[in-house]
């Protein structure tokens, strides 16, 4: 009966869950206004809770960074090919299919990505590279890739490319459709060659991704030593955005580094709650069994986790390692264009909130998933899509708004002392920015050697801009995305152009 009810009202249930994230976000965001007059003490204590929660998460974040950095340094010092040899005769039976979707990237960007694959320490004859090219990329893009294939044919024996046609029925524009097209094409080629697909591990990342020489060797070791390896995805905890880090405006640099540090810390402490994002790996047979990516969605990475999670009845989770991949920070044609491109990218990331209705519908229809597991995931999503979307704004403006809409609260001891106390706590918590800055400096590329000393010093003074970033890029585009989904707007996928200046170092 429950299944019939869900089928009958499927569209209404979908619409209901699309509304919830944006509704909760705006409910919390405006709480000092609508809660401040009738229940000022409740509003004050809620804001205090947010302060304490922020400090708690800041402490966890810093601990996670230190632990993650130690693991990163340790893994870089290990010869992972030698470690693989210790596993015995099956050490190198795993073959790697690397899938890179290509939209409009330039030759320089693609060459660095492909060269990094050619420089892997893992045996080259066990690496298969497929570039899935969007047809709308044009003839110049196709010529560039043919040139790359010719230049590197001796280093990557199995180098393929496939042209993803534009405007296929039931597909929306986005990376999900391109990845699916490329993965299906690669699987068909492998089967035609008589390959056993059980031996293949698929890794996908964007066209600007540059993997460390030990990336595939370390990934293979993690895969082979994981119990129930087909029920996991594999992802590096060290995702750098430093290909062009010192060429972009300060806010782009701060945003890029913030993502790097957040991913590193969260994998250290919350691996059981992580989902697929950006660069990840999965057994090729698992990808086929879950029917690839959802081509009706423009967003591809995080929704894929839920696709696999529900197919596996909840028995699907992440495994991590600490060998890095480097990608581009957002860079436009100029100062203003860079900021606009950054907003568009984060708006696209914000549309990742589409997983909320996907997850909630799955929880309703798949009873085999333990209730505790469902509850943890729901709490995680509420924290991600409501608390973190609003916390910076409320920490900054919550108490002023509360006192503005309820001036009588100023005359009470609580109304006088609580804002000051929380202000002191937040000021003290800003000290945690210092160790985060130190770790950032140790893992990203060094500043250009031809920079004058004063320019290098200025990068250390960018700290206060973190607050600006939190109140703009970490806040506005994500709330924008949730609001659009709440109002029934459709997502329009737009790629972020990869623009780099010629390097001098």
Report the DSSP pairing between strands 280-283 and 200-204: antiparallel
Rounded to whole angstroms, the Cα distance separating 77 from 75 reads 5
Res 494 pLDDT > 90:
no
SS3 sequence of 368-414:
CCCHHHHHHHHHHHHHHHHHHHHHHHHHHHHHHHHHHHCHHHHHCHH
Give the separation between CA 174 and CA 189, rounded to whole angstroms: 23
Average pLDDT over residues 114-133: 96
8 has pLDDT over 90: no
pLDDT value of position 461: 75
Rounded mean pLDDT, 46-65: 90
Per-residue confidence (pLDDT) for residue 4, from 0 to 100: 67
Residue 225 parent element (H or E): none
Hey, which of 7-21, 43-57, 379-393, 422-436 has the most confident mean pLDDT?
A: 379-393
User: Which residues fall within 8 angstroms of residue 51, CB to CB, at 6 or more apart?
Assistant: 395, 422, 425, 426
Q: What are phi and psi of 238, to 5 degrees?
A: -115, 90
Rounded Cα–Cα distance for residues 310 and 138 (Å): 38
Percentage of the residues of the chain whose pLDDT score is greater than 70: 96
pLDDT recorded at residue 504: 40
pLDDT confidence tier of residue 502, bands split at 50, 70 and 90: low
For residues 457-485, give the mean pLDDT.
88
CB 182 within 8 A of CB 196: no
pLDDT at 435 over 70: yes
| Per-residue confidence band for 80, with pLDDT thresholds at 50, 70 and 90 | very high
Supply the pLDDT for residue 6: 64
- Whether residue 199 is predicted with pLDDT greater than 50 in this model: the reply is yes
- pLDDT of residue 10 exceeding 90, the answer is no
pLDDT bin (cut points 50, 70, 90) of residue 503 is very low
Residue 203 has pLDDT above 60, yes or no: yes
- Assign 147 a pLDDT band (cuts: 50, 70, 90): very high
Burial 473-483 (b: 16+ CB within 10 A, else e): bbbbbbbbbbb
Per-residue three-class SS string for 322-384: CCCEECCCCECCCHHHHHHHHHHHHHHHHHHHHHHHHHHHHHHHCCCCCHHHHHHHHHHHHHH
Count H helices, E strands: the chain? Answer: 21, 10
The more confidently predicted of residues 411 and 284 is 284
Cα 266 to Cα 7, 49, 76, 141, 165: the distances in Å are: 37, 22, 20, 37, 38
What's the mean per-residue pLDDT of the chain? 90
Domain boundaries, the chain: 93-330
pLDDT at 154: 82
Using the predicted structure, report yes or no on whether residue 414 has a pLDDT greater than 60: yes
Stretch 76-84: mean pLDDT, rounded? 97
Q: Which residues pair with residue 130 across a beta bridge? A: 99, 160
pLDDT tens-digit map of 276-320: 999 999 999 999 999 999 998 878 889 999 999 999 999 999 999
pLDDT, tens digit, 9 for 90 and up, residues 450-466: 888 888 888 877 777 88
Q: Residue 108: is its pLDDT beyond 50?
A: yes
145-154, long-range: CB < 8 A, 24+ apart? 145/102, 145/110, 147/107, 148/107, 148/110, 148/111, 148/114, 151/111, 152/114, 152/115, 152/118
- Of 32-36, 112-116, 355-359, 492-496, the least confident: 492-496
Residue 1 has pLDDT above 60, yes or no: no
With vertex at residue 230, the alpha carbon angle to CA 226 and CA 233, rounded to the nearest 5 degrees, is 75
- Among residues 62, 453, 473, which one has the least CA distance to residue 249? 473
pLDDT digits (tens, 9 = 90+) for 310-353: 999 999 999 999 999 999 999 998 999 999 999 999 999 999 99
Q: What is the pLDDT of residue 505?
A: 35
For residues 88-99, give the mean pLDDT. 92
Domain 93-330, what fold? Spore Coat Polysaccharide Biosynthesis Protein SpsA; Chain A (3.90.550)
pLDDT at residue 489 is higher than 50: yes
Q: Which residue has the higher pLDDT, 321 or 271?
A: 321
Burial of 424 (0-12, 13-18, 19+ CB in 10 A): exposed
Distance of CA 483 to the CA centre of its chain: 21
Per-residue pLDDT at 438: 86
């Amino acid at each position: 009966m429950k299944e019939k009810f869900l089928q009958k009202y499927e569209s209404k249930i979908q619409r209901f869950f699309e509304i919830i994230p944006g509704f909760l976000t705006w409910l919390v965001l405006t709480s000092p206004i609508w809660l401040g007059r009738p229940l000022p003490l409740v509003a004050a204590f809620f804001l205090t809770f947010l302060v304490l929660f922020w400090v708690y998460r800041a402490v966890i974040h810093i601990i996670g960074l230190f632990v993650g950095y130690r693991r990163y340094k340790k893994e870089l010092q290990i010869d992972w090919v030698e470690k693989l040899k210790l596993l015995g005769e099956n050490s190198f039976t795993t073959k790697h299919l690397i899938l890179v979707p290509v939209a409009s990237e330039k030759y320089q960007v693609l060459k660095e990505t492909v060269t990094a694959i050619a420089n892997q320490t893992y045996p080259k004859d066990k690496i298969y590279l497929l570039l899935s090219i969007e047809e709308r990329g044009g003839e110049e893009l196709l010529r560039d890739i043919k040139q790359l294939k010719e230049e590197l044919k001796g280093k990557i024996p199995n180098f393929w490319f496939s042209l993803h046609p534009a405007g296929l029925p039931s597909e929306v524009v986005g990376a999900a459709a391109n990845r699916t097209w490329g993965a299906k094409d690669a699987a068909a080629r492998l089967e035609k060659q008589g390959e056993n697909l059980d031996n293949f591990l698929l890794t996908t990342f964007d066209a600007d991704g540059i993997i460390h020489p030990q990336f595939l060797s370390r990934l293979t070791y993690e895969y082979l030593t994981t119990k129930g390896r087909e029920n996991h995805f594999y992802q590096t905890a060290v995702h750098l955005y430093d290909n062009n880090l010192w060429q972009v405006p300060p806010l782009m640099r701060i945003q890029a580094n913030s993502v790097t540090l957040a991913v590193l810390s969260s994998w250290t402490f919350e691996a059981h709650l992580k989902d697929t994002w950006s660069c990840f790996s999965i057994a090729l047979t698992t990808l086929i069994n879950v029917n690839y990516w959802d081509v009706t969605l423009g967003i591809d990475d995080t929704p894929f986790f839920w696709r696999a999670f529900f197919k596996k009845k909840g028995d699907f989770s992440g495994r991590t390692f600490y060998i890095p991949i480097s990608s581009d920070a957002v860079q436009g044609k100029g100062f203003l264009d860079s900021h606009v491109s950054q907003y568009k990218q984060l708006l696209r990331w914000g549309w990742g909130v589409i997983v909320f209705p996907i997850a909630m519908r799955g929880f309703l229809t798949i009873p085999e998933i333990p209730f505790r597991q469902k509850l943890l995931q729901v709490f995680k999503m509420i924290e991600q899509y409501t608390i973190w979307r609003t916390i910076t704004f409320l920490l900054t403006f919550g108490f002023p708004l509360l006192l503005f809409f309820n001036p009588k609260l100023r005359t009470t001891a609580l109304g006088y002392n609580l804002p000051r106390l929380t202000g002191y706590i937040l000021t003290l918590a800003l000290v945690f920015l210092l160790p985060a800055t130190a770790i950032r400096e140790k893992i990203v590329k060094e500043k250009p050697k031809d920079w004058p000393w004063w320019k290098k010093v200025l990068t250390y003074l960018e700290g206060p801009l973190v607050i600006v970033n939190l109140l703009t890029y970490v806040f506005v585009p994500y709330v924008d995305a949730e609001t659009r989904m709440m109002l029934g707007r459709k997502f329009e996928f737009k790629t972020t152009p990869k623009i780099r200046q010629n390097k001098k170092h």
